[in-house]
Structure 1
Amino acid sequence: MDIQVADTLLGSLIDGRYRIRGRVARGGMATVYTATDERLERTVALKILHPSQARDAQTRLPGFLERFTDEAKTIARLTHPNVVAVYDQGTHAGLPYLVMEYVRGRTLRDLLGERRRLQPAEALAILEQMLAAIAAAHRAGLVHRDVKPENVLVAEAPSGGSGNLIDSVVKVADFGLARAVEASAEDENGGKLMATVAYVAPELVTDGHADPRTDVYAAGIVLFEMLTGRVPYDGDRAVDVAWQHVDRDVPRPSTLVPGLPPALDELVARATRRDPGARPTDAGALLAEVQVARDDLGSVSSAETAVLRKVDQPTMIVSALAGPGTGAGGGERPSWARLPGPAERTQPGRRRAEPQRAESLTDRVRTVWAQLMADRRGRRAVLAGLVVLGLVVALGGWWFGIGRYTVAPQLVSMTKAQAEAQAEKAGFTIALGTPRYDEKAAKDVVLAQTPATGDRIVKGSTITLVLSLGPERYEVPDVTGKTFDLAEADLQQLRLTVVRGPDQYNDNLPAGVVTAVDPKVGSQVKPGDKITVTVSKGRAPLSVPPLAGKNINDARNALAQLGLTPVEEYVDSDKPKDEVISQSPADGTGVEKGAEVKLKVSKGPPAVAVPRVVDLPCPQAQQTLQGQGLAPVPQGNPNGVVRFQNPAENTPVPPGSQVTIVCL
């Protein structure tokens, strides 16, 4: 039986002003409701962060609410007809919320789910308005970072025509909320990747860097999906999809949908270059290219229409790629989403009249020429003009063809400092492209340059350098204490090959937890290196008994009863002979049956050679023996001279042994 939990926010009054009327959508980060602004009597959209997201963000970043407020204020200042406007912000029960413009329509994701893919004219019309909104954000210094169909709203066409996407009004959402949440993740994780992997730019994957060209890349992927009905890459894991953006070029849409014009292939390729420097600089630059491409496609469509008219089949005339600027329903299209009007197009089939006017202009030129050539001064003026014109043409041709060009200097294999000095000396400026790892070149050495060495280049222009990051090396992370699956994921993120070694018993860590890695933590490794991981089997079934201080025979018996094997080593010691001095493993250590226990056993104290004390005075002899650790036993006259000793001199005896001396 399904149990549906009621939404407690429905019908509630937020901040004494916004009455929640219904739920529009629920995403992974926030829920969107329709609400009535009871102060201004208008319908708005209210987006409120999920409690789990808010708690996580505030835990990671104590100033999250202030950051969220600042981001909302920044987006509220971004006014553009294609941007979903932000009216207000605040908190309700500790949850941040945004009050936004309510757009009556569907997301681009909904449209693609319904229609799978769009016609080229529809795709370009939607993309134009998307780029107009993103370009406004770029001019304000903002980067969206999460351009995708879910964040593009397609409202009803100004003409009111049903199903007419060419004249629909497009609005881009989520400039603010996603960025505010993402900021908390950046502070905690050092630039954690937040963009949707299907649309993520390569530079976000490799170094977490985002600028306007990141949004250009994502817009190119959205265009690809609108034209083909799918994204270029997929995979079982998000990280696999993300790295395909780094390692592969986006395929041309026409390879999936035959018959698409080459101009659309080129547009997608330009927007999705893996090198950010090869893309349009921002959304405004891409918008200009989209409009040029659409105009070119419109010309092709007009030519096709003319051919159809020529064969007298008017009922088959279809405008395949573009319509008139007023839209299907006759409503005026906004200037910010301009499509070319009829006056801007070449009308096929219409002949330009007024041949008589062109002919009389020719006659007039001939008359003026005859008058000039009939007069000597006129002929001189014409000659001088021709000479000056020839000089101007020659100098201009030389300058534009040869004079302003030089050859690009050799900068490859230089260090960054050397290349900059060489370029400055030759009058060039330097730009840096995306660096890459190289096994042979040291860090900051130039790997490549554009234009290449010896290519023609305008004097004083810019040379783009690709620098080496040096050999790609990583430190082995500390994964001890983690489960094997988590440790394997951490190591595979560094593209290391994980090998699970034999599991071992461990008294301190439970079964399934990593106890050691080889090479050890902190060692330098390169992608593809093998890392052997040792995993705990848990505590061993037997415990080593305490054996130090026991006789070796007793120790042997104790180990034999547990099924353990003693390994004995006899050493010099002042302990009694055959006494166990130390053991390894220590007592209490867990081991399995048959394990070896190493024992150090005393050989007993080393023997002492009895010194010669015969002929020494009795007191002196006693002192000599005591100095050797022996116990003298005097007999006879205590003040006499030693005449006899037992044991005899040089006899080895244990320390503390008695030596009898007879004094006379």
Structure 2
Amino acid sequence: MEIQVADTLLGTLVDGRYRIRGRVARGGMATVYMGVDERLERTVALKIINPAQVREARFVERFTDEAKTIARLTHPNVVAVYDQGTHGGLPYLVMEFVRGRTLRDVLAERGRLNPGEALAIMEQMLSAIAAAHRAGLVHRDVKPENVLVAEAPSGGSTNLVDSVVKVADFGLARAVEASADDEAGQLMATVAYVAPELVTNGHADARTDVYSAGIVLFEMLTGRVPYDGDQPVQVAWQHVDRDVPPPSALVPSLPVVLDDLVARATRRDPGARPTDAGALLAEVQQVRDDLGTSSNASTAVLRQVSAPTQVISSVATERPQWTRLPEQKPGRRRAETQQGFGAKARALRDQLMAQKRGRTAVAAAIVTLGLLAVVGGWWFGMGRYTVAPQFTGMAKAEADAQAVRGGFTIKYADGRYDEQVAKDMVISQDPPASARIVKGGTITLVLSLGPERYKVPDVVGTDLTQAKVDLEQAKLVVKEGPKKFDDSLPEGVVIAVDPKPGTEVKAGSTVTVTVSKGKAPITVPNVIGKNINEARTILQQLGLTVVEQYKDSDRGKDEVIAQSPTDGAGVERNAEIKLEVSKGPPAIIVPRVVDLPCPQAQQVLQQQQLNSRIEGNPNGVVRFQNPGENNQVAPGTEVVLGCF
């Protein structure tokens, strides 16, 4: 079993104020903990820089200066910084604790987002980054891992449009980069989101963040980043050599206006991009207004119209105050225009009614309008409707083909786990089969996500409190089994889980955790090489039970040749100690040497590991031997030879 070292910071009081309660996440740059500010009695997040990042003495000074700049950045979409300091020589930040998930976690679960959700998250992201740009601060590491998606203020909604988005780690990459060795080509930004100018000359400004935000939007819309490769440097140079492809190349249903938005944000030439996050924010808000996405629409419905553009039907709602652009209100000229149009219409009516031909034309127009009203009433009441086909039970590809044949638009709602229905099979539809629906209307389908299964996380070596948090976040029920002594892990640390880590189980399954009681109270002594009687006495005086097993050995008879557990192990009272005891060397059968010359007889006995002693003439012939032939004796036994 692989042993993990427990986190020694759990339970630590930092700076006499912040009590660390659990580990939230660990990355290459820092580790984030959940803690409690015991002075103000509030939950906070502590980001402690990893030892490998602290490369020179001036790092702490640079980190402190950067922390002061970040602390002055106050915005609803920025993770607030409350305090900073050092603990054990490692710099740390005390920040707002956001209850939610990273955008990376959301994308890992959902795959990709619909346009309404992606644009809503993008607006709040850019609002935060724009505030930083106004303060002269460049983020330098915009990516889904640094975007937190918290619960909606109203609570209970699963719609990401209603979620609160906060951006973290402003300036942290700059502080770490400043402390690093000046190596050519070093990039602090993640290569999947790095701007071309960072690759070629290491220069970063507000437009660098705009490029990275454009890549994040591409990933939200398509479920993947535009470039990949075997080595990070290969990915980085693709940003320099290639234009980012349009999102609709991967998701054909996306409107062209989103392709244009991603293209403008990710131009390889920084001068061709929006000047900063505020400029890109204005474009995102315009696109969102054009498409009609809102916080009340969980999914955007895309329709193909006769013109090349596409529209998204939805109901517009108010955005948060800090993300709105100034609204344009109709002025006096528009009102005057409307009044003038009304006067001209009245004059035209009077002129027509004054002439017979005009009155006839008006009557014909009225009859025509009546017929149009009847036909239109039939069309809007019955003629434009048909019945919805059956989609339930079909695979996704089959449902798409059926919709194309029937001229319907398909919208996929969030999937649902099902123990009986295979993944990507339709489990429900709205409207239901045979219900009345407008011809070419939209039908919402729900696909099965298959049986809901979760992998048991590896919490071995973790403090019990943190292990419970990790297991409950995986939707598992924790059960504490009997505690056991362990020579390697301290008291309160998990030493085993059942089922084993990595096992896939249903949501709500029970996982039994075995927790260490620390090292056992009795230390096993070393009795190897001692006589079994002495060894037995030593172990029994310690309250231990001796189990003996005898084996053939070249070692002396009754000598202890092995023990289990080994010396130094911790055991409880009455624990069994297994001893292997030597039965002595195996017996040797004495060969017959009678009638052999004495020198030859001695050689035969020596080859059999037996000693010899001659009585009589050493050059004579053996007339008798003792012990006699075929007797079993121990190695080294002396055989007396009578030679005459």
TM-score, normalising length from structure 2?
0.49
Bigger relative CO (Cα 8 Å, ≥ 6 apart): 2
Work out which of the two has the higher radius of gyration on C-alpha atoms and give 1 or 2: 1
TM-score (norm 1): 0.47
